Amino acid sequence: MRQGVRLGVDVGSVRIGVARSDPAGILATPLETVARGKGDLDRLVALAAEHEAVEVVVGLPTSLSGREGPAAQAAREFAVRLAARLPADTVRLYDERLTTVTAENGLRAGGVRGRARRQVVDQAAAAVLLQAALDGERLTGQPPGEIVRRGS
Protein backbone atom coordinates (compact mmCIF):
# COMPACT_ATOMS: atom_id res chain seq x y z
CA MET A 1 0.00 0.00 0.00
CA ARG A 2 1.38 3.38 -0.99
CA GLN A 3 1.80 5.90 1.80
CA GLY A 4 0.33 9.38 1.87
CA VAL A 5 -2.93 11.22 2.37
CA ARG A 6 -5.50 10.88 -0.39
CA LEU A 7 -8.52 13.08 -0.99
CA GLY A 8 -11.80 11.68 -2.25
CA VAL A 9 -13.99 14.02 -4.30
CA ASP A 10 -17.67 13.39 -5.03
CA VAL A 11 -18.65 15.93 -7.70
CA GLY A 12 -22.29 16.91 -7.80
CA SER A 13 -24.10 19.57 -9.78
CA VAL A 14 -24.57 21.79 -6.69
CA ARG A 15 -22.03 20.56 -4.12
CA ILE A 16 -18.73 18.70 -4.01
CA GLY A 17 -18.13 16.33 -1.13
CA VAL A 18 -14.55 15.94 0.04
CA ALA A 19 -13.04 13.24 2.24
CA ARG A 20 -9.48 12.48 3.27
CA SER A 21 -7.54 9.43 4.26
CA ASP A 22 -5.01 9.01 7.01
CA PRO A 23 -1.34 9.03 5.89
CA ALA A 24 -1.23 5.21 5.84
CA GLY A 25 -4.16 5.06 3.42
CA ILE A 26 -6.26 2.89 5.73
CA LEU A 27 -9.31 4.96 6.67
CA ALA A 28 -11.34 7.62 4.84
CA THR A 29 -13.20 10.29 6.80
CA PRO A 30 -15.51 13.12 5.67
CA LEU A 31 -13.73 16.46 5.41
CA GLU A 32 -15.73 19.27 3.82
CA THR A 33 -18.49 20.23 1.40
CA VAL A 34 -17.49 22.72 -1.28
CA ALA A 35 -20.08 24.72 -3.23
CA ARG A 36 -19.92 23.90 -6.93
CA GLY A 37 -19.08 26.86 -9.12
CA LYS A 38 -16.74 29.81 -8.91
CA GLY A 39 -13.77 29.00 -6.68
CA ASP A 40 -14.45 25.26 -6.34
CA LEU A 41 -11.20 24.22 -8.03
CA ASP A 42 -9.27 26.79 -5.99
CA ARG A 43 -10.66 25.27 -2.78
CA LEU A 44 -9.84 21.70 -3.83
CA VAL A 45 -6.30 22.69 -4.78
CA ALA A 46 -5.95 24.43 -1.39
CA LEU A 47 -7.25 21.34 0.44
CA ALA A 48 -4.81 19.12 -1.47
CA ALA A 49 -1.94 21.41 -0.45
CA GLU A 50 -3.15 21.80 3.14
CA HIS A 51 -3.37 18.03 3.66
CA GLU A 52 -0.27 17.30 1.53
CA ALA A 53 -2.35 14.91 -0.56
CA VAL A 54 -0.40 12.56 -2.80
CA GLU A 55 -3.52 11.71 -4.77
CA VAL A 56 -7.04 12.98 -5.45
CA VAL A 57 -9.66 10.35 -6.28
CA VAL A 58 -12.61 11.77 -8.21
CA GLY A 59 -15.79 9.72 -8.37
CA LEU A 60 -16.92 8.57 -11.81
CA PRO A 61 -20.71 8.08 -11.71
CA THR A 62 -21.50 5.19 -14.04
CA SER A 63 -24.81 3.38 -14.36
CA LEU A 64 -25.30 -0.05 -12.78
CA SER A 65 -24.56 -1.56 -16.21
CA GLY A 66 -21.27 0.34 -16.33
CA ARG A 67 -22.31 2.82 -18.99
CA GLU A 68 -21.26 6.44 -18.77
CA GLY A 69 -23.88 9.14 -19.15
CA PRO A 70 -23.87 12.95 -18.86
CA ALA A 71 -22.93 12.89 -15.15
CA ALA A 72 -19.87 10.74 -15.88
CA GLN A 73 -18.84 13.06 -18.71
CA ALA A 74 -19.18 16.05 -16.38
CA ALA A 75 -17.04 14.27 -13.75
CA ARG A 76 -14.39 13.48 -16.37
CA GLU A 77 -14.29 17.12 -17.50
CA PHE A 78 -14.06 18.31 -13.89
CA ALA A 79 -11.24 15.83 -13.20
CA VAL A 80 -9.27 17.09 -16.22
CA ARG A 81 -9.64 20.70 -15.05
CA LEU A 82 -8.52 19.69 -11.54
CA ALA A 83 -5.58 17.67 -12.90
CA ALA A 84 -4.38 20.76 -14.77
CA ARG A 85 -4.00 22.54 -11.43
CA LEU A 86 -2.23 19.77 -9.49
CA PRO A 87 1.09 17.94 -9.92
CA ALA A 88 1.16 15.46 -12.81
CA ASP A 89 -0.50 12.08 -12.26
CA THR A 90 -2.17 13.18 -9.00
CA VAL A 91 -5.82 12.85 -10.07
CA ARG A 92 -7.54 9.50 -10.62
CA LEU A 93 -11.11 8.61 -11.60
CA TYR A 94 -12.77 5.79 -9.66
CA ASP A 95 -16.15 4.11 -10.20
CA GLU A 96 -18.54 5.55 -7.63
CA ARG A 97 -21.68 3.49 -8.28
CA LEU A 98 -24.06 3.73 -5.32
CA THR A 99 -21.78 5.83 -3.08
CA THR A 100 -24.43 8.47 -2.41
CA VAL A 101 -27.06 5.80 -1.76
CA THR A 102 -24.70 4.04 0.66
CA ALA A 103 -23.90 7.33 2.39
CA GLU A 104 -27.59 8.29 2.66
CA ASN A 105 -28.45 4.89 4.14
CA GLY A 106 -25.63 5.12 6.65
CA LEU A 107 -26.60 8.61 7.77
CA ARG A 108 -30.27 7.63 8.01
CA ALA A 109 -29.36 4.55 10.06
CA GLY A 110 -27.27 6.78 12.31
CA GLY A 111 -30.26 9.02 12.98
CA VAL A 112 -29.11 11.99 10.90
CA ARG A 113 -32.24 13.54 9.40
CA GLY A 114 -33.42 16.24 7.00
CA ARG A 115 -31.32 19.37 6.63
CA ALA A 116 -28.47 17.98 8.74
CA ARG A 117 -28.20 14.96 6.42
CA ARG A 118 -28.22 17.11 3.27
CA GLN A 119 -25.35 19.16 4.69
CA VAL A 120 -23.08 16.14 5.17
CA VAL A 121 -24.24 13.53 2.63
CA ASP A 122 -21.77 14.77 -0.01
CA GLN A 123 -18.87 14.42 2.42
CA ALA A 124 -20.11 10.98 3.46
CA ALA A 125 -20.40 9.92 -0.21
CA ALA A 126 -16.82 11.11 -0.79
CA ALA A 127 -15.70 9.04 2.21
CA VAL A 128 -17.49 5.94 0.86
CA LEU A 129 -15.85 6.51 -2.54
CA LEU A 130 -12.39 7.01 -1.07
CA GLN A 131 -12.72 4.03 1.28
CA ALA A 132 -13.66 1.80 -1.67
CA ALA A 133 -10.61 3.05 -3.60
CA LEU A 134 -8.32 2.46 -0.61
CA ASP A 135 -9.74 -1.02 -0.02
CA GLY A 136 -9.37 -1.85 -3.71
CA GLU A 137 -5.73 -0.82 -3.69
CA ARG A 138 -5.07 -2.83 -0.55
CA LEU A 139 -6.63 -5.94 -2.15
CA THR A 140 -5.00 -5.68 -5.58
CA GLY A 141 -1.78 -3.83 -4.83
CA GLN A 142 -2.62 -1.50 -7.74
CA PRO A 143 -3.53 2.20 -7.59
CA PRO A 144 -7.29 2.67 -7.92
CA GLY A 145 -9.17 3.59 -11.10
CA GLU A 146 -7.66 5.45 -14.01
CA ILE A 147 -5.14 8.26 -14.02
CA VAL A 148 -6.32 11.61 -15.39
CA ARG A 149 -3.72 13.30 -17.50
CA ARG A 150 -3.57 17.02 -18.00
CA GLY A 151 -5.46 18.07 -21.09
CA SER A 152 -6.93 14.60 -21.78
What CATH number did the domain enclosing 82 receive? 3.30.420.140
**Predicted pLDDT of residue 122:** 87
Strand partners, 32: 18
Residue 1 covered by a domain: no
**Predicted pLDDT of residue 41:** 98
Number of domains in the chain: 1
**Predicted pLDDT of residue 152:** 60
In terms of Cβ atoms closer than 10 Å to its own Cβ (0-12, 13-18, 19+), residue 103 is buried
Give residue 56's domain range.
Answer: 6-147
Residue 115 covered by a domain: yes
The residues of the chain scoring below 50 in pLDDT are: none
